[in-house]
């Protein structure tokens, strides 16, 4: 078992991966970077860790770093990943890997040539109830899956205080709804076609935003299975006691299950059993280490430890850049159906138009 050496750029939510690396036995935190020295000083004090820089180039030229973890604003992920790969580092990039399919080809080519891994931190896959649901799915406990429904619904107007959320490249779909999109595609990797609607509420317009803030979409895969994805981000929410912020429901011929975030709950009804609810409340302090529930330290620790295991075994950590690009193609198809009043759009179409048709043959068979 090796110990891997981590550098981090972007210390807002990057705070969570600092905590994860410091707590993990598999990682050593070597250096961190934020363009804002006040944020660096804040984190230095919080973690007693003073190896910081405001110069990303300096972090990349640090020979002690094996892996660079990117938590900068969405619009900077592409240049930051390219620079890290060119510097010979493995990459962990938070979601969304990119804000559109622009640059996807260049990134895949560079990642392929570099021989380094690009792993995308889809944190929801690594939350306890979702981990348990996946294990039941892999054991075949749902029987033949018929539908997968995922939602991410939260009043996230607070997020619009971040300057980059009002700049080109930000959208509720790519930044927020991607959690629900990724969960559905994880179970229906061969998503073929999508239809749906989106709207912009007066609440978004008050912030000068013209990006869909409520979206409802239906997906069909190669075998006719149905996925449903819902998101609303600027409307008063019912609160997690009534409605978990993120939920993933799988319904199959032998059972149904629902995994919830940020409730640490997992509900099942499998054939031969009554309904069961599993609570992982005893892990609350592991998942939520700072104030409130608005960060992801536990999920990040789970995924960096998984990444370390993959490096040990020479395995490819998933989702990788290719899988993330297929999710982006699905989101581009979602955008198109919403623009075209619900006309069904095929994911293939978007892959082909962007010179990515070669991904089509592999993505349906990914685990």
Ligand X SMILES: NC(=O)c1ccc[n+]([C@@H]2O[C@H](COP(=O)([O-])OP(=O)(O)OC[C@H]3O[C@@H](n4cnc5c(N)ncnc54)[C@H](O)[C@@H]3O)[C@@H](O)[C@H]2O)c1
Nearest-CB residue for ligand X:
12
Closest CB 76 distance from ligand X, rounded Å: 6
Alpha carbons within 13 angstroms on the beta-carbon side of residue 61 total 5
Considering the complex, state which of residue 9 and residue 145 has its C-beta at the smaller distance from ligand X. Answer: 9
Q: Which is nearer to ligand X, 162 or 276 (CB)?
A: 162
Task: Report in angstroms how near the CB of residue 94 gets to ligand X at its nearest.
Answer: 4
| Measured distance CA(117)–CA(119) in Å, rounded | 6
Shortest Å distance, C-beta 130 to ligand X: 12
Kindly give the residue spans of alpha helices, DSSP state H, lying in 200-277: 202-205
Cα–Cα dist 135/113, whole Å: 34
CA distance 359 to 325: 9
Distance, CA of 337 to chain centre: 22
Nearer to ligand X, 155 or 348 (CB): 155
Q: How far apart are CA 352 and CA 281, in angstroms?
A: 45
Least distance CB 234 / ligand X (angstroms) = 17
- Which residues here bind ligand X, judged by CB under 6 A? 9-13, 33-36, 39, 56, 71-74, 76, 94-95, 121, 123, 162, 175, 296
Nearest approach in angstroms of CB 296 to ligand X is 5
Give 43 or 142: the residue with its C-beta nearer to ligand X. Answer: 43
Give the separation between CA 296 and CA 289, rounded to whole angstroms: 8
Residue with the two structure tokens 């429901």: 249
Rounded to a whole number of angstroms, the minimum distance from the CB of residue 156 to ligand X is 11
Structure tokens at 221: 């895969």
Phi, psi (degrees; rounded to nearest 5) at 276: -125, 145
Asked whether 92 and 304 are in contact (CB, 8 A), the reply is: yes
Between 17 and 219, name the residue whose CB sits nearer to ligand X. Answer: 17
Q: Judged by CB, which is closer to ligand X: 123, or 256?
A: 123
């Amino acid at each position: 078992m090796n110990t891997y050496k981590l550098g981090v750029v972007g210390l807002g939510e990057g705070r969570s991966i600092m905590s994860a690396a410091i707590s993990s036995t598999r990682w050593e935190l070597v250096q961190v970077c934020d363009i804002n020295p006040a944020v660096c000083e804040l984190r230095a004090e919080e973690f007693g860790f003073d190896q910081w820089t405001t110069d990303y180039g300096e972090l990349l030229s640090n020979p002690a770093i094996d892996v660079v973890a990117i938590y900068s604003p969405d619009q900077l992920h592409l240049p930051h990943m390219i620079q890290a790969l060119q510097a010979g580092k493995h990459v962990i990039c938070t979601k969304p890997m990119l804000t559109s399919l622009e640059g996807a080809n260049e990134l895949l080519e560079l990642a392929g040539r570099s021989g380094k891994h690009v792993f995308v931190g889809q944190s929801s896959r690594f939350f306890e109830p979702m981990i348990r649901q996946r294990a039941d799915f892999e054991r075949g406990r749902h029987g033949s899956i018929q539908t997968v429904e995922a939602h991410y619904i939260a009043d996230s107007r607070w997020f619009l205080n971040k300057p980059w959320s009002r700049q080109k490249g930000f959208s509720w779909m790519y930044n927020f709804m991607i959690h629900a999109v990724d969960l559905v595609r994880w179970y229906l990797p061969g998503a073929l076609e999508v239809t749906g609607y989106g709207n912009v509420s007066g609440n978004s317009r008050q912030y000068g935003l013209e990006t869909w803030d409520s979206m409802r979409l239906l997906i069909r895969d190669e075998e006719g299975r149905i996925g449903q994805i819902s998101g609303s981000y600027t409307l008063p929410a019912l609160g997690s006691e009534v409605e978990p912020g993120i939920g993933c429901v799988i319904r199959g011929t032998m059972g149904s299950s629902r995994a919830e975030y940020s409730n640490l709950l997992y509900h099942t009804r499998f054939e031969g059993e009554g309904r069961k609810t599993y609570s992982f409340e005893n892990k609350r302090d592991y998942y939520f280490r700072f104030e409130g529930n608005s960060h992801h330290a536990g999920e990040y620790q789970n995924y960096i430890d998984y990444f370390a295991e993959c490096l040990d075994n020479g395995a490819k950590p998933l989702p990788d850049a290719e899988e993330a690009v297929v999710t982006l193609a699905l989101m581009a198809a979602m955008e198109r159906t919403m623009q075209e009043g619900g006309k069904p759009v095929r994911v293939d179409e978007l892959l082909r138009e962007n010179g990515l048709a070669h991904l089509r043959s592999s993505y349906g068979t990914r685990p």
